[in-house]
A and B are shown apart, each in its own frame.
Chain A
Amino acid sequence: MAGARHLYVHLPFCSSRCGYCDFVTVVGRDDQHERYVEALLQELALEETLLDSDLDTVYLGGGTPTFTSTGALVRLLGALPAAAELTVEANPETVTPELAALLAACGVDRVSLGAQTFEPRLLRTLGRVAQPDDVRRALYALRDAGIDNCSLDLIYGIPGQSAADLTRDLAEALSLEPQHISAYELEAKAGTRFTHAHGAELERQAESLESYFERVVETLTAAGYRWYETANFAGCPTASADATCGRGTTSASGSGTTTSASAWARSAQSRIGVGVMHRRSPATWRRSTAVSGRPASSRSCPRPCATPSR
């Protein structure tokens, strides 16, 4: 059997927890970064035989991978198997020129930035740390460092969001000419603080989601992006660099688009660090790796980019 050609690595650490987020994240355990990466590397060694020798993509998701301590992150990046495309998720406020240069030096050639919205009051509602200017600064820093292949994440259906807000978000995103845009509807989980705080408004937003979704698709496809996956749009039509839209292409469709999620959705893949994605704490997961020589879970949690919601 051919080995997996796509590898997902989970780094759960964040500076704060966004109210709507239901991924496994860990706040305030800065002392665990090094030990967690050590456990990841042990798991990677155990899983090595499951991987193809010629990987298409490696994707570091979180959490906020770029919040991981620099030493631990560099150590992990240096130990990962080579791949045609190496993506790191980042929160905009964590991306400094120094970090961008470091990522580039470590072989990162694609960064997925969680912008979510460009409206400050909606960012506050989501509990995001970054401000709109942080997104722009991050993108410029990454490009200055030679990482031209960037993706922006947007969320719609945010409590208090209007159709005009969404239109402005899409326009802002397009003005930055990212190679890829993900646009997800907000999926608030029942029983969370976020749902308690915004229940009525979430119900109102739910009535608008269909029209918002149509607006997203209409706007981005009209701008030349390819709607290759329900919530994902690839291929910046106006980027000036000759190969930026196609660099590290993993799509079988060969349309000059960078479609990691596409490759993920159709392909065998391996994941490390997913013990924590099954609601196990990092500490418990580390113990399971150390004691049994193998983490309790490995390849069953789909997470190409974010939670499929439709």
Chain B
Amino acid sequence: MLGLRLDEPLPLAGLEAALDGQEVERLTGLGLVIRGQDRGRATLALTARGRFLGGGVTARLLA
């Protein structure tokens, strides 16, 4: 999850079980994280706004 600190999207393969799906939805709605695809693989990244709250966002993402 340290990878969320980067400006490059974090591949989610292998991390799904560690994430709280509802929080991902909620934080996406708040514009703090953004989901994407990279070569067919799901990714997650903090938005610019989310990066200012990165520690708190990451803590909430964890299941």
Residues of B within 8 A of A230 (CB): 5, 51, 54
Nearest Cβ in chain B — how far from A218, in angstroms? 11
Docked CA distance A226–B5 (Å) = 13
For A229, the chain B residues whose CB sits under 8 A away are 5-7
Residues of chain A at the chain B interface (Cβ within 8 Å): 210, 213-214, 217, 226-230, 252-253, 262, 265-266, 302, 304, 308-310
> In the complex, are the beta carbons of A265 and B7 less than 8 A apart?
no
A310-B54 in contact (CB<8A)? yes
Are B5 and A308 interface neighbours, CB within 8 A?
yes
Nearest neighbor of B55 in chain A, beta-carbon distance: A310
* 0/1 string, B45-63, CB within 8 A of A gives 1: 0000001111100000000
Whether B25 sits at the interface, judged by CB under 8 Å, is no
Cβ of B17 under 8 Å from chain A: no
Question: Contacting B2 at CB < 8 Å: which of A210, A252, A265, A309?
Answer: A265
C-alpha gap A248/B3 in the complex (Å): 21
- B60, chain A: closest CB distance, angstroms: 13
CB distance B52 to A210 under 8 Å?
A: yes
Interface SS of B by simple majority = helix
In angstroms, how far is the closest chain B Cβ from the Cβ of A141? Answer: 32
One of B3, B53, B55 near A266 (C-beta < 8 A): B3
- Whether B8 is near chain A, meaning CB under 8 Å from some CB there, is yes
Q: How far is the CB of A178 from chain B (nearest CB, A)?
A: 19
Q: Quick one: which of B7, B52, B55 contacts A308, CB cutoff 8 A?
A: B55
Q: Which residues of A contact B7 (CB under 8 A)?
A: 226-229
Question: Which residue of chain B has its CB nearest to the CB of A252?
Answer: B8
**In the complex the two chains form, what is the Cα distance from A265 to B2 in whole Å?**
6
Quick one: which of B5, B51, B54, B55 contacts A265, CB cutoff 8 A?
A: B5
| Besides A230-B51, A266-B8, A304-B2, 17 new A-B residue pairs in contact (Cβ under 8 A), listed by A number | A210-B52, A213-B52, A227-B7, A228-B6, A229-B5, A230-B5, A230-B54, A252-B8, A265-B5, A265-B6, A266-B3, A302-B2, A308-B2, A308-B5, A310-B52, A310-B54, A310-B55
In the assembled complex, the CB of A183 is this many whole angstroms from the nearest CB of chain B, namely: 13
Task: Give the interface centre of A213, A230, A308, A309 by most chain B CB atoms within 10 Å.
Answer: A230
How many angstroms from the CA of A309 to the CA of B27 in the assembled complex? Answer: 20
- 7 A/B residue pairs, CB under 8 Å, sorted by A: A217-B52, A265-B2, A265-B6, A266-B6, A302-B2, A310-B54, A310-B55
B26 vs chain A, min Cβ distance (A): 20
Least Cβ–Cβ distance between B61 and chain A, in angstroms? 14
List, in ascending order, chain A residues with CB within 8 A of B53's CB: 310
Expressed in whole angstroms, the Cα–Cα distance for A214 and B48 within the complex equals 11
CB distance from A13 to the nearest CB of B (A): 27
For A304, what are the chain B residues with a Cβ–Cβ distance below 8 Å? 2
Cα of A230 to Cα of B53 in the assembled complex, Å:
10
- Nearest B residue to A231 by beta-carbon distance? B5
Q: How far is the CA of A150 from the CA of B6 in the complex (A)?
A: 20
Closest 6 CB pairs of A and B: A310-B55, A230-B5, A265-B2, A310-B54, A228-B7, A229-B5
Q: Please, which residues of chain B bring their CB within 8 A of the CB of A308? A: 2, 5, 55
Q: How far is the CB of B38 from chain A (nearest CB, A)?
A: 12
What is the CB-to-nearest-CB distance from A257 to chain B, in angstroms, rounded to a whole number? 11
Which B residues touch A217, using CB under 8 A? 52
- Residues 1-26 of B, flagged 1 when their CB comes within 8 A of A and 0 if not, give 01101111000000000000000000
